[in-house]
Structure 1
Amino acid sequence: MRTVIVFFAGNERGGAAAHITTHARTVARSEKRHHYHFVSLGDGPLTASVVSTSVKSVVIAAGAVGGMRQLKQYLRTIHNPLLHAHGPRLNILAALAAKQVNVPWTSTIHSHPYFDFMGSRLKSRIYPRLNIWSLQKAIGLFVVQSALADALPVKTVLDVPNAIDLPALQEPREAYATQLKERLQLPLSTRFIGMAARFDPVKNIDVLIRAIAKLTSDDTHLLLAGDGPERQTLEALVSQLGLQDRVHFLGFLTDMPAFYAALDVHVLPSKSEGTPFSMLEAGHYGVVNVGSDIPSLRELLRDGEAGPVVPVGDVESLAQRLDELSQNETLRQRYVQNFHTQVLPHFAPEKMLEAYERGYTVLEEDILRSGRY
């Protein structure tokens, strides 16, 4: 078996970071652990998470030039490597480095490549094109959601499920909700709708904020965990709608289980998604999910059986669903039960590792047929 060099950005956050951390934890528990090296471009919270799993890990320079130079040096020290990148910027570096040292490479695609970098007009014109160019050089690609395959410029596309490997709550969910209400100085009767995401146009957070303004109950508040280029725009929208007392920007959080446990409803109104960890985590901790009606979320929520789906960008429909769910605990629990029985069993960590191992076997056949390495 080749040595798999998992290449990622040390400061990565969100779903891709959770995917990589779960992969590292599962590798650390497996018999194949000696066939994996995890290489971090720069240091950061994801680096710390991966290092804590005890897998073989290396940190290289954060800059593009120094990072690529050190990556090439590292690849030359490994017998029979397969470089496996995560993320658009890392794909570009991986394609360049792999070509110069003549090693095969692959990537896991976590989101639609044409919807990345929507928060910047300049970056959205340059980086997606560079990313697609780099992906054309890969021996094959993994996708966390099969619908992403249509956007990829390679013949070999392999499915790999996201997976969750989460700690149990130390207290009942009600305790976390109470703690957060006290911290925000809100009445104990307050209900929480929440979303954890990067603040990017593809996430449609503005749609969720507008839906909050249309709720019939004033004691339902919105919690937004995360940050990003859209923050100032979203804060301005909150002020414009007079929602300053009902929309709370919490920033990046380190204790995500406590965040999800405090919610009554979790929402993801995105224009595009892979298989979002936020929904898996929220559902795992007993929170009902609401998603936009896009292929990946409709599939994850089992066509509405494991959580409602609403038309993309439809503020009125979203507000109606949130009103209904926030006031009906029986309905919420029915969706949560369906999510636990119909969805979560498909996202065990071992299934992720098995899918990667099968995929590497397929890629090895492509490598041998190509005669390039």
Structure 2
Amino acid sequence: MTQIRGILHIDLSARYGGADVRVTQLAEALSEHHRCSVVCIEGSGLHERLREMRVNHVPLSSGRGDPLTGHAIAQLLRSGRFNVVDAHNPQSQLWGALAAAATRTPGLVLTAHSQYRQEHGHRSVRGHAYESVLRLGRRLGARFVAVSDATGEYLRGLGIDPDRVAVIPNAIGAQPPVPPAEDVVPATWPPDRLVLGTVGRLEPVKGLTDLLDALATVRAEGIDAGLVMVGEGRERAALESQVRELGLSDAVAFAGFRKDVDAVLPALDVFCQPSHSEGLPFALLEAAASARAVLVTAVGEVPGVVPDGGGIVVAPGDPAALADGLRRLASSPEVRLRMGTALRESVGARFSIEALTEGTLAVY
């Protein structure tokens, strides 16, 4: 543990997602007693959110792959105001590790929010490249934070000393009830339609093609369900094509990126997360805080989040199992209410921001 002079979080993400929520939570909480700032990309979703929260931040005009980004981070460290670096995605971890080494900054921490090779494909060049950044951190003596037990095991499998890996789950703060956003569900949909929703990046690892197949199956059986997809990503065009091929154009809405997820979730009857890989997803915690019934896959820490009776958990990559889950959830509003209430009570007791902050400070 380093005597903390200042904490510099590095998060060079382009789109605002779960990892960025954790960064904003930590930066806000740590700033109460420590100098703390966040390096981000100018104009990104994270930059906008930090500005709204009035959290100290340093927006960079250079891109994630630009060596000037590493130079700017090194300049911040040379100022002497920060002696702890916490980097939160592969590009951030590369520049953070190199800058910390160049400036002999003692407190280098790399936070892994997912399993890189599994997320990007075991044969993916990108996945291998990202893992090489973690190995660089290992050689430089970094400490590591994993957001789930599965991610911690993944880090240890890369040869990282178990004593240098701390598992600190994501957190969700206490949230007052928020009225549902009125523009989430298309006005043309029938008022009694079962509204399903996903929140997250539109990427292959999220398993959204499986959910569309399941939706087509249950609609063919006469269950009137519709799906709202919140988020953007590389797979959007392919998903839109699949929607047309399955004849789901009047039952699927692409809502794009939304900042008001806390208002989106109450507009849903069921939150769905059919991912093939996850750590501890923030969207699931947010759905729990909103007391939504959930249909999720057994990946990462997801099964440990959902208690018995608190939702439906199925195997990943199995559209038939997802369809079975949709049938159960469509059968009874009372079942959905009971599941959502049980999940909210369980998550609220186990995933606090106080525990996240205290655990992270112990690593620093």
Tell whether the structures are fold-level matches, with TM greater than 0.5. yes
Query: How many Å apart are 1:201 and its aligned residue?
Result: 1.3
Q: 1: distance between equivalents of 2:174 and 2:153?
A: 31
The answer to whether the aligner puts 1:339 opposite 2:343 as a matched pair is yes
- Name the structure 1 match of 2:29: 26
- Name the structure 2 match of 1:241: 246
Q: 2: distance between equivalents of 1:76 and 1:201?
A: 40
Structure 1 vs Structure 2 CA RMSD: 2.2
The normalised TM-score by structure 1 is 0.87
Unpaired runs of 5+ in structure 1? 361-373
Q: Is the 8 A contact 2:204 2:235 kept in 1?
A: yes
The answer to whether the aligner puts 1:197 opposite 2:200 as a matched pair is yes
The answer to whether the aligner puts 1:212 opposite 2:215 as a matched pair is yes
Query: How many Å apart are 1:10 and its aligned residue?
Result: 5.7
Q: Counterparts in 2 of 1:1-373, with a 5 A limit?
A: 1-2=3-4, 3-9=6-12, 11-28=14-31, 30=32, 32-34=33-35, 36-63=36-63, 64-79=66-81, 81-104=83-106, 105-117=108-120, 124=126, 127-136=129-138, 137-152=140-155, 153=158, 154-155=160-161, 156-165=164-173, 167-171=175-179, 173=180, 176=181, 180-181=184-185, 183-215=186-218, 216-302=221-307, 304-360=308-364
Q: 1: distance between equivalents of 2:80 and 2:222?
A: 60
The AA in structure 2 aligned to 1:345 is A
Q: Deviation per CA, 1:220-260: give whole Å up to 9, x if none.
A: 10111111111121112111111111111111112212211
Q: 2: distance between equivalents of 1:125 and 1:300?
A: 27
The normalised TM-score by structure 2 is 0.89
Q: Is the 8 A contact 1:195 1:266 kept in 2?
A: yes
Unpaired runs of 5+ in structure 2? none
Query: How many Å apart are 1:285 and its aligned residue?
Result: 1.1
Q: Is the 8 A contact 2:231 2:255 kept in 1?
A: yes
Q: Is the 8 A contact 1:11 1:47 kept in 2?
A: no
Query: How many Å apart are 1:218 and its aligned residue?
Result: 4.3
Q: 2: distance between equivalents of 1:328 and 1:282?
A: 19
Q: Deviation per CA, 1:204-229: give whole Å up to 9, x if none.
A: 11000100011134421011111111
Q: 1: distance between equivalents of 2:144 and 2:309?
A: 31
The AA in structure 2 aligned to 1:112 is Q
Q: 2: distance between equivalents of 1:325 and 1:19?
A: 30
Secondary structure, in 3 states, of the residue corresponding to 2:92?
A: helix
Q: 2: distance between equivalents of 1:160 and 1:217?
A: 44
Query: How many Å apart are 1:166 and its aligned residue?
Result: 6.3
Relative to structure 1, the CA distance from residue 218 to residue 305 in structure 2 (aligned partners, 3 Å threshold; closer, same or farther) is closer
Q: Is the 8 A contact 2:145 2:168 kept in 1?
A: yes
Q: 2: distance between equivalents of 1:332 and 1:15?
A: 25
